[in-house]
Amino acid sequence: MKNQLSQTRNKIYLGIIVVSAIAIIILGAGYIGDRKRADQAAAPSSVAMKGSSDKVLVSVSTEVIEDGLENMGVLITQEYYFTQVETYTKEKKILNLVPSTSELVYSYDGAVMAGIDFEQIKITKDEESKTLSVDIPHSIIQAVTIDKDSFKVFSEKDSLWNPMKLEDYNDSLSEFEEAAKEKALENGIIERSDEQARALVENFIGNFPSANGYEIRFVWRNNYEP
């Protein structure tokens, strides 16, 4: 009787050990599978790796550059300051026989301003040659300003029969402005203005990273036609 109980107990213990071993095997296999799946999810896929190594090509936008230049409007790129002495002579014949002359020698300070309408600049690109062509008008005289407070009279000869009038002073001022403009042109104001405009455009385009590697070529024209 005692031996039978002992054998029965041994069978129960053996069954418990077998069941426990099977459970351990099943749990271990599940853990390994879950770990493998987690590792696979964490690892970057070959598609993602391939995508990260692709090169992104960026092309410069001529429209964006033109819009930026247009916002500058008419830009004064060169100024010529002056103090100029002029002689204004008014002649008249009394009764068509006796000449009568009035004369005014005077000076003004002022400035002649030259510039370019940046709205008229057009940009084209050639991807094969990596060039940006800038179609740009030459500078023109934009304004002549006279400092009225700087007016000085050096000599004035006012004939009794041919006196100076207000319109004479206005005429003399118009002649003075034209003379100042011619003087500025003789001193190369247009050439210096063009060079300054060229530098401004080059610097502006250089601020676009996408323009790196492009050669900038200027095509100058003598009018404002687009």
What pTM was computed for the model?
Answer: 0.61
User: Is pLDDT at 169 greater than 80 in this prediction?
Assistant: no
Cα-flanking dihedrals φ and ψ of residue 135, to 5°?
-90, 115
What pLDDT, on a 0 to 100 scale, did the predictor assign at position 92? 65
Query: Average pLDDT for residues 155-172, to the nearest whole number?
Result: 64
Q: Which residue has the higher pLDDT, 131 or 180?
A: 131
Domain ranges of the chain: 2-53, 62-221
% of residues, the chain, pLDDT over 70: 60
The per-residue pLDDT for range 33-66, each reduced to its tens digit, is 555 554 554 444 333 333 444 444 456 788 888 8
Q: What is the DSSP string of 136-160?
A: EEPPEEEEEEEEEEEEEEEEEE--S
Dist. CA 138–CA 73, nearest whole Å: 15
- pLDDT band (50, 70, 90) for residue 174: confident
Distance of alpha carbon 103 from alpha carbon 111, whole angstroms: 25
Q: Can you tell me the mean pLDDT for 195-215?
A: 93
Per-residue pLDDT at 50: 39
